[in-house]
Structure 1
Amino acid sequence: MVVPEIAYTRTMLPNGLTLVVHEDHKAPVVAVSVWYHVGSGDEPKGKSGLAHLFEHLMFSGSEHHKGSFFAPFELAGATGMNGTTGFDRTNYFETVPTTALDMALWMESDRMGHLLGAIGQKELDTQRGVVQNEKRQGENAPYGRVYQNILSNIYPANHPYQHDIIGSMQDLNGASLADVKQWFRDRYGAANAVIVLAGDITPAQAKEKVVKYFGDIPAGPPVPRQQPWITPLAKSTRGVQHDHVSQTRIYRTWVVPQLGTDDLISLRLAATVLGGGRTSRLYQRLVYQDKLADNVSAGVSPLALTGQFQINANVRKGVDAAKVESVIADELNKFLIEGPTQDELDRAKVVYRASLVRRLEKVGDKAQMLASGQLYLGDPGAYKKDQQRVDAATVGSVKASADRWLTKGDYLLTVLPGSNDFDPQAEDAKVVPLPDAQGRPEPKLPAAQQYVVSESEVDRAKGVPQVTHFPELRFPKLERGKLKNGIEVVLAQHYTVPVTQIYLQFDGGYAADEGRKLGTASFAASLMGESTKSLDALEVAKRTQRLGAIMGVSCGLDTCSALLNTLNDQLKPSLALFADIVRNPAFTADDIERVRAQRLAHIAQEKVDPASLAERMLPPLLYGHDHAYRIPFTGTGSEASIKSLTADDLEAFRRDWLRPDNVKILVAGDTTLKEITPQLDAVFGDWRAPSAPLPKKNIAKVADQAKPRVFLIDRPKAPQSLILAGLLAPSSKAINAIDIDIANRAFGGTFTSRLNMNLREEKRWSYGAGSGLVGALGQRPFQMYASVQADKTTESALEMEKEAVAIVGAKPLTAQEVDKVRSSILRGLSGSFETTGSVIGAVDNIVKYGRPDDYVQTLEQRIEAVSVSSAQAAIDEIVKPRALTWVIVGDLKKIEQPVRELGLGKVHVLDAEGQLVR
């Protein structure tokens, strides 16, 4: 397997800014990636979270563009836009239509060179509140407080990585306006940044534009670079943490070398052999053989100063965690003695290479790879050196690296389910960090250089450059054919990387559980990735791994899909294995019991995760108990039904629904109908349908609720409440489906939508609020949602209700809102179908919802036809405040009485099973 190269040019501007350019003209888009060499590891003591807080401030606007940074990008149709903070860097990125590149560079340069005048106390307080709710939301999720515990116990207190990136509440509260402004002055100069442009642009064009927009920005003061400091533990230690979880989990973590080293790559290969999926030693032993765990994995975190090697395992219910610990130690010891086998190492190498090939499909991913190589190692092509390290790895070298690092001390953390009155804040107070250590290397200043700025050619007083024209949409014409048994084939020719994707789309889905045990569809699909009638589960997994393929069966609400994602040079053997999985699942007793245990554990975990719990409760409340859509939207079913499923149940589902007269084969990749049809015929052409007729599903129309209702679910001591409010919307097949989509985006489906701007940016009660629609052949669920700080639960619900009332009443959609969303979709079309996966996803929807083959090619005119009145008519059809069904998950001691007094509707209290408590 040959890994395609990411060709690039690199230039340093006179002001010290490093520019890396990669040409890729397959789509009319350019990825813009700006990386600053500053992260949470650079924060002084008592200022934890400052780097991440500042990342948020960088989206608040700049001196020449007041207001949200997202707004111009939404109008220009940007995709993949965000920013992230790590221990060692902060990055900002977006992919824009080629014609919007000047706008993007203007925006990025304005906040790099002209930010401080736009940051005041109001902006700081707003983003501080948003970040604190991001922290609460993370900690409110199962296992959400684990990472800080691990960092406190593997790194000395004076190590740059000793505190987590988001920081402490105390330090966030203490961050002053002077602190954040000085942070910018000290670290956000041009010489401390890398900008990568990847996509539809030449190096000459890129340099001209970057010099124009960034050339006048000062280099900034020299920024001291933190130096690698690998601090392996002298001895093994252990800790225990309680949390709102349903299942005991074990984390075992070692400190290992940093990225760019031979050892780290060898350890990554070792992690694949030990815990990289179903073929790995730990998975085979703990999940398949001894049946002590429901899942186990191993992985490496590649960081600039040091790395982490971690094994984690979900302990099966009723099993002593000490037994799992013992097996992990036993398998690790065997590995240290023997090393990997040649076959294990070869398969691990294929996994690495195949993953790299797939990452090369998106210009955004390639930009990230080039930027990280340049920022951390001074080499945009560092990914190639890592691939060379993989190719050169031997059984002996992998064993030697494991011997060097996995025989040192480690930290073993056991996370246990907390009691009902468990207080996470009290638990956090028990975590005592390691003391300071000797030997921390001093940060080093970069080599002294003379930087100069150029005179600006940009009149920033004119504001953001307007984008007046956009590239044409490129989407392949669909081709249709048939196999010799009549199965329809739909092909979209699309070449980006040497990969082909094949979907088998079956009518069915979770809705096919109607008349069966809830969760049958999802359970049967999961088992179809296990053994076949001729191959056991281990052999299926090994063959898949050797091929570098991804394959499996899954279900959504209305359909089940079998997916094959294969490298082109392995298409024939991959298709043969894929067909065996689809046509000949064995449903063995061992597989059923193993997957049953995993599914029951997953359901239990859903019941302690606020968002998943709410998603489990809402469907039967919206649709009633006789409708095909009453199943939890997670598809997992109920514990009682999963416990009772038999091999006969699963085979009956497969026989009834996953059959050749109920399937269409969708293909996207570098092939033709003439080439692919014989290959598909060879494995599916002789597939014969059973004589029994296809079953039917009840997706009849459901009436709106006569009155609003509120259902509360208790989550004691929760720092946040999860609010979910549901209504029913027309089918995805509705003639006004695009009007519905545009109206929803304006209301709650974009960053600058009404709901998000209210609860996040104005009130700062939430990390994010919005609304969304789930695709469906029947009535779709329309949901408003927000995770909000616990003490603002009633206020937040009231604001959500006010927004719902206003949009169908006193504050209807405006022309500006509709134009903004319409423009965003239209201008984003050119970059929406860059990957093979996005193309086949579009084909999937065309086929599923019976849309014309030229649906994508005619999207522009369909979107342009949406008017303010038609969008308003769509939202009026859906948003009926007096029919809302509310599900709120939070600490009832704090929120129940205030919610009752609010008068949203009649209040009921449910338990985690959905049973009425009061």
Structure 2
Amino acid sequence: MTELAFGAAPPSTTTQSNATIPYTRFTLPNGLTVVVSEDHKAPVVAVGVWYHTGAADEPAGKAGFAHLYEHLMFSGSENHKGSYFAPFERAGATDQNGATSFDVTRYYETVPTTALDMALWMESDRMGHLLGAIGQHELDTQRGVVENEKRQGENEPGGHVLEDVLNHIWPANHAYQHGVIGSVPNLDAASLADVKQWFRQYYGAANATLVLVGDITEAQARAKAAQYFGDIPAGPPVPRQQPWVTPLAQTQYGVQYDQVANPSVSRTWVAPQVGADDSVLLQLAAMILGGEKTSRLYQRIVYRDKLADSVGANSTPYALAGTFTISVDSVHPGKLRALDAAIDNEVKRFVDAGPTPDELERAKLAVRLAILKSLENVGGNSGKLRILADGQVLRNDPLAYAKGAAIAEAATPASVKAAAARWLSKGSYVLTVLPANTKPDRGEQFAKIPPRGAAEGHPAPQMPPARAYVTEKSQVDRSKGVPPVTTFPGLKFPALEHARLSNGIEVVLAQWHAIPVTHVQLLFDAGFAADQGRKLGTANATAIVMNESTHDLDAMAVDRLKQQLGAVTNVNCGLDACWASLDALNDRLQPSLALFADIVRNPAFKAEDVKRQLNASDIEAEKSDPNALALRTLPVQLYGKQHAYGIPFTGSGTEASVESIQPSDLKAFHRDWMRPDNVKILVAGDTTLKQIVPQLEAVFGDWKAPHSPVPKKNIAPVTPQTRARVFLIDRPGAGQSMILAGLLAPSSKSAQALQLELANDAFGGTFMSRLNMNLRENKRWSYGANSDLVDAVGQRPLFITAPVQTDKTADAMREIVKELSDVAGPRPLTAQEIENVKASTVRSMPGQFQTGSDVLDAMQSIAQYDRPADYVNQLKAQVEGVTPAQAQSALAEVVRAQGVTWVIVGDLKTIEKPVRALNLGDVKVLDADGNVMPSR
């Protein structure tokens, strides 16, 4: 989906394009810009600090410094030693993170209103008091973490694509030619002096913007901004690089070989920078060319010519320039030349004739939908905080997104055509990623080409106007440390209301009146576990093909109607359930429900839809991805092949099973499981029971169940393994190993579920957990290690995940074993560890329910695991009632009772011998299908 540069999120609802965010902007005497917007629907405040610096500011030989410094900002400050995350976890922060781009480095979190002083103290302490806290240890630690983040990305299929594209679309002297994550040699060469100079140059108050959105007033914002930030120096003037748009003169072709299952192709043009009218018009063009199934490229490449499994287009403007990219995944064998011709033809046709009025109107509606949806959340990565901050920092206008929306609304077929002609008629860079040991079918086009050389015309950076900034005397005694958070707002989750349709279907409603949208979900007791006795992957395949056509509407007609209504529908399955969902505009709810009911009740399961949507390429792609491959393999070993959960947890089945699935298989699954006597209808949105029940009755009330009973799933108890087992899967040349370890735990319905979840949070479920602090922060072997309890009606799996650098695979396994042994024996979880996660769980609740979708997710878990209707409102008291002894006992019982089952995906020639030397248990080598390989 195209990310809209003017601050919108993926579309899901509609409004007029002039939807706005009320805000106030002011500047402190030290130059800090402050933007505040009031939103009192929940007792939380989103806090963001945007620094106007990023990878584009890095000089030669310093690639990755901006991103490295982002990590250093989480290492602690002069007045708060230790991890930055600890106070926020205790206070119940949500949506907390940092991110670096070409142009901006941003830090953000959403906190309970009563924790605002703590958050501002922390942000201001690292802005004004960081240098004394950065030593060689902190630098070495975060450098190791960043280098493992880079390895982790490169270890994924296609992990080198971005670097290659940047090298070939931008001139060597362009600020965007190197990636944000940087270069390992440059990171290794970073000295303390280098990073401290980066802080002095770019992290002054005058180069920063503080944004506050939520349960706060303008008066409070003014007082608190001055209190915590007023004494911080402005910093030196920062030269601003100027836009430099450098289109390619001609199209060039590059090739990469990687551990991918099928070829993929990306074609990238240079495009204008953010704020240019053409950047908005090109985003409309991207939607029309490759945004949905009705898009021109999808119809041509996937539907008509059957050249590939998927295609999309994306236009991304940055501060200095932008890109327009067409991406094609899973290209069919021998189809590269035909694919080139099809893309050339469709782009030329668009450039020559432009969009139709209908295509453009549907794209405009998507923009309006996107804007309204983005206004529902105060913080996070796409809410009001991001919109206001990006607008202010990149365009000196918090409401810059509205200008973009106005340009989109005023667009005509002629103006979009003209923009496409200006940019897409120029040269592009075409990169093909091929599986290792294959040959392209385009021959001479794959001559190796060097990175793009330097170009003339690079504009000189401009210094900002000279200004006199002054600091004010500090109003904070920082020697007292982080302000304590002693009170916390309560959570009021909407009461669940119940009704039944005339055919007995239960309806559960949570009124949520934030925006004029209604979310509907049909929840079926089915899921991947219902595959048992059928072809593996049938549940997932049924959901996928239900998203295509109905008896009366082909796939194109379904998608076109959804776009015209502004409705978003989807059918999905998980381990224990399948669900169909609808997000609908209230003023178009009845026709949206009619379409939704047609999708759910009358799927056509046409042979052509099955053939197009179901093939082995997705499974081949999973087997080329280390994480997905481990998730395909471990559950079978953990539960056994005869168990309903002894399947790939991706739900996709096997190549053989998927290729054998026929329309009749999907019709049978739909008949047996997705029926009115096996469903609950969940509704969250701007409606009432009196309004919604008649509307649901009109489309679902006459739905009749078949005469056959609903099948039963066999989720029998499994006897846990008593001895450890290790399964190795070879990934030659991998820079990292993916470690996935599994244990069996009681059901999500069990009486001890909450105690176990809290204990797991302390052990491996949070940033400050034992596992993550050990392998990431202390050892520097991983970008992140965690343990995760997967919800399940039967025995749930506890997965331990740790992607680690290859040469530390055995060492990391040894540390995980030690942590497991310690927590079940000599070093049990402490009362303080449990109290910390209890506090975080309770205090984060107000920030977890800001949108109707958030409410619906909670309703799904209530229905699926037989929880009381007031479960969310009871949860605070239940969490507070868990004792440290109960939590420790729940985890220790799981860890002590069984041996760990390990699946390690890595370079066998490097890891096998050290892993065997650990003597953890029986070691076997598996192929990508989970079959035991012959002994060597």
Q: TM-score range by the shorter chain?
A: over 0.9
> Are 1:574 and 2:578 counterparts?
no
Q: Following the alignment from structure 2 to structure 1, what is the Cα–Cα distance between the partners of residues 647 and 330?
A: 27
Q: Following the alignment from structure 1 to structure 2, what is the Cα–Cα distance between the partners of residues 204 and 245?
A: 55
Aligned partner of 2:349 among 327, 334, 339: 334
Q: Equivalent residue of 1:363, what SS?
A: coil
Q: Following the alignment from structure 1 to structure 2, what is the Cα–Cα distance between the partners of residues 82 and 334?
A: 43
CA drift at 1:337? 1.0
Q: Give 2:515's aligned residue.
A: 497
Q: Give 1:379's aligned residue.
A: 397
CA drift at 1:430? 7.4
Question: In the alignment, residue 265 of structure 1 is paired with which amino acid?
Answer: V
Mean alpha-carbon deviation: is it higher for 127-136 or for 539-548? 539-548
Q: Equivalent residue of 1:265, what SS?
A: helix
> Are 1:487 and 2:501 counterparts?
no
Q: Following the alignment from structure 2 to structure 1, what is the Cα–Cα distance between the partners of residues 536 and 817?
A: 33
Mean alpha-carbon deviation: is it higher for 113-122 or for 1-10? 1-10
Q: Give 2:820's aligned residue.
A: 804
> Are 1:367 and 2:367 counterparts?
no
Q: Equivalent residue of 1:607, what SS?
A: helix
Q: Following the alignment from structure 1 to structure 2, what is the Cα–Cα distance between the partners of residues 567 and 215?
A: 45
Aligned partner of 1:24 among 31, 36, 39: 39
Aligned partner of 2:851 among 822, 831, 835: 835
Q: Give 2:258's aligned residue.
A: 243
Q: Give 1:788's aligned residue.
A: 804
CA drift at 1:319? 3.4
Question: In the alignment, residue 279 of structure 1 is paired with which amino acid?
Answer: T
Partners of 1:505 and 1:562 within 8 A in 2? yes
Q: Give 1:425's aligned residue.
A: none
Aligned partner of 1:229 among 244, 250, 263: 244
Q: Following the alignment from structure 1 to structure 2, what is the Cα–Cα distance between the partners of residues 88 and 537?
A: 40
Mean alpha-carbon deviation: is it higher for 564-573 or for 808-817? 564-573
Identity of aligned residues (%): 60
Q: Give 1:426's aligned residue.
A: none
Deviation track 1:531-556 (CA, whole Å, cap 9, x = no partner) reads 00000000001111112221011000
CA drift at 1:301? 1.1
Q: Give 1:895's aligned residue.
A: 911
Q: Following the alignment from structure 1 to structure 2, what is the Cα–Cα distance between the partners of residues 617 and 430?
A: 38
> Are 1:115 and 2:137 counterparts?
no
Partners of 1:491 and 1:668 within 8 A in 2? yes
Q: Equivalent residue of 1:743, what SS?
A: helix
Question: In the alignment, residue 463 of structure 1 is paired with which amino acid?
Answer: G
Aligned partner of 2:411 among 393, 397, 401: 393
Q: Following the alignment from structure 1 to structure 2, what is the Cα–Cα distance between the partners of residues 498 and 261?
A: 31
Question: In the alignment, residue 243 of structure 1 is paired with which amino acid?
Answer: D
Aligned partner of 2:487 among 469, 473, 497: 469
TM value normalised by structure 2: 0.96
CA drift at 1:452? 0.7
Partners of 1:315 and 1:321 within 8 A in 2? no
Partners of 2:152 and 2:736 within 8 A in 1? yes
Q: Give 1:2's aligned residue.
A: 16
CA drift at 1:317? 3.2
> Are 1:453 and 2:471 counterparts?
yes
Partners of 1:729 and 1:779 within 8 A in 2? yes
Q: Give 2:368's aligned residue.
A: 353
Q: Equivalent residue of 2:645, what SS?
A: helix
Q: Following the alignment from structure 2 to structure 1, what is the Cα–Cα distance between the partners of residues 27 and 864?
A: 50
Partners of 2:722 and 2:897 within 8 A in 1? no
Q: Following the alignment from structure 1 to structure 2, what is the Cα–Cα distance between the partners of residues 619 and 14?
A: 59
CA drift at 1:419? 3.3
> Are 1:443 and 2:443 counterparts?
no
CA drift at 1:433? 2.0
Q: Following the alignment from structure 1 to structure 2, what is the Cα–Cα distance between the partners of residues 481 and 260?
A: 50
> Are 1:711 and 2:724 counterparts?
no
Partners of 1:747 and 1:755 within 8 A in 2? yes
Aligned partner of 1:271 among 272, 280, 286: 286
> Are 1:850 and 2:886 counterparts?
no
Q: Following the alignment from structure 1 to structure 2, what is the Cα–Cα distance between the partners of residues 375 and 199?
A: 20
Mean alpha-carbon deviation: is it higher for 723-732 or for 233-242? 233-242
Question: In the alignment, residue 342 of structure 1 is paired with which amino acid?
Answer: P
Q: Give 2:149's aligned residue.
A: 134
Q: Following the alignment from structure 2 to structure 1, what is the Cα–Cα distance between the partners of residues 374 and 634?
A: 36
Partners of 1:292 and 1:319 within 8 A in 2? no
Q: Equivalent residue of 2:925, what SS?
A: strand
Partners of 1:805 and 1:881 within 8 A in 2? no
Q: Give unmatched runs, 5+ long, in structure 2.
A: 1-14, 440-446
Q: Following the alignment from structure 1 to structure 2, what is the Cα–Cα distance between the partners of residues 849 and 463?
A: 43
CA drift at 1:320? 2.2
Q: Equivalent residue of 1:711, what SS?
A: strand
Question: In the alignment, residue 386 of structure 1 is paired with which amino acid?
Answer: G
CA RMSD of aligned residues (A): 1.4
Q: Following the alignment from structure 2 to structure 1, what is the Cα–Cα distance between the partners of residues 461 and 563?
A: 43
Q: Equivalent residue of 2:687, what SS?
A: coil
Q: Give 1:551's aligned residue.
A: 569
Q: Following the alignment from structure 1 to structure 2, what is the Cα–Cα distance between the partners of residues 349 and 16?
A: 38
Q: Following the alignment from structure 2 to structure 1, what is the Cα–Cα distance between the partners of residues 252 and 642?
A: 54
CA drift at 1:783? 0.7
Q: Equivalent residue of 2:871, what SS?
A: coil
Q: Give unmatched runs, 5+ long, in structure 1.
A: 422-428
> Are 1:633 and 2:642 counterparts?
no
Deviation track 1:880-909 (CA, whole Å, cap 9, x = no partner) reads 385110000000000011111111211000
Partners of 2:498 and 2:507 within 8 A in 1? yes
Q: Equivalent residue of 1:304, what SS?
A: coil
Q: Following the alignment from structure 1 to structure 2, what is the Cα–Cα distance between the partners of residues 42 and 568?
A: 46
Deviation track 1:618-675 (CA, whole Å, cap 9, x = no partner) reads 1111111111111211110111110111111100000000000000000000111110
Partners of 2:244 and 2:458 within 8 A in 1? yes
Partners of 1:315 and 1:324 within 8 A in 2? no
CA drift at 1:188? 0.3
Deviation track 1:842-892 (CA, whole Å, cap 9, x = no partner) reads 111111111111111111110011111000111012113851100000000
Q: Equivalent residue of 1:614, what SS?
A: helix
Q: Following the alignment from structure 1 to structure 2, what is the Cα–Cα distance between the partners of residues 744 and 882?
A: 16
Question: In the alignment, residue 496 of structure 1 is paired with which amino acid?
Answer: A
CA drift at 1:268? 0.3
Aligned partner of 2:674 among 650, 658, 677: 658
In structure 2, relative to structure 1, the CA distance for the partners of 1:595 and 1:736 (3 Å cut) is same
Aligned partner of 2:635 among 616, 619, 630: 619
CA drift at 1:568? 1.7
Q: Following the alignment from structure 1 to structure 2, what is the Cα–Cα distance between the partners of residues 223 and 569?
A: 49
Partners of 2:204 and 2:234 within 8 A in 1? yes
Partners of 2:254 and 2:448 within 8 A in 1? no
Q: Give 1:746's aligned residue.
A: 762
CA drift at 1:420? 10
Q: Following the alignment from structure 1 to structure 2, what is the Cα–Cα distance between the partners of residues 756 and 72?
A: 17
Q: Give 1:601's aligned residue.
A: 617
Q: Following the alignment from structure 2 to structure 1, what is the Cα–Cα distance between the partners of residues 799 and 582?
A: 32
Q: Following the alignment from structure 1 to structure 2, what is the Cα–Cα distance between the partners of residues 50 and 635?
A: 40
CA drift at 1:24? 0.3
Alignment of 1:641-652 (within 5 A): 641-652=657-668
In structure 2, relative to structure 1, the CA distance for the partners of 1:881 and 1:180 (3 Å cut) is farther
Aligned partner of 1:527 among 529, 545, 561: 545
For this pair of structures, how many residues does the alignment match? Answer: 911
Partners of 2:528 and 2:576 within 8 A in 1? yes
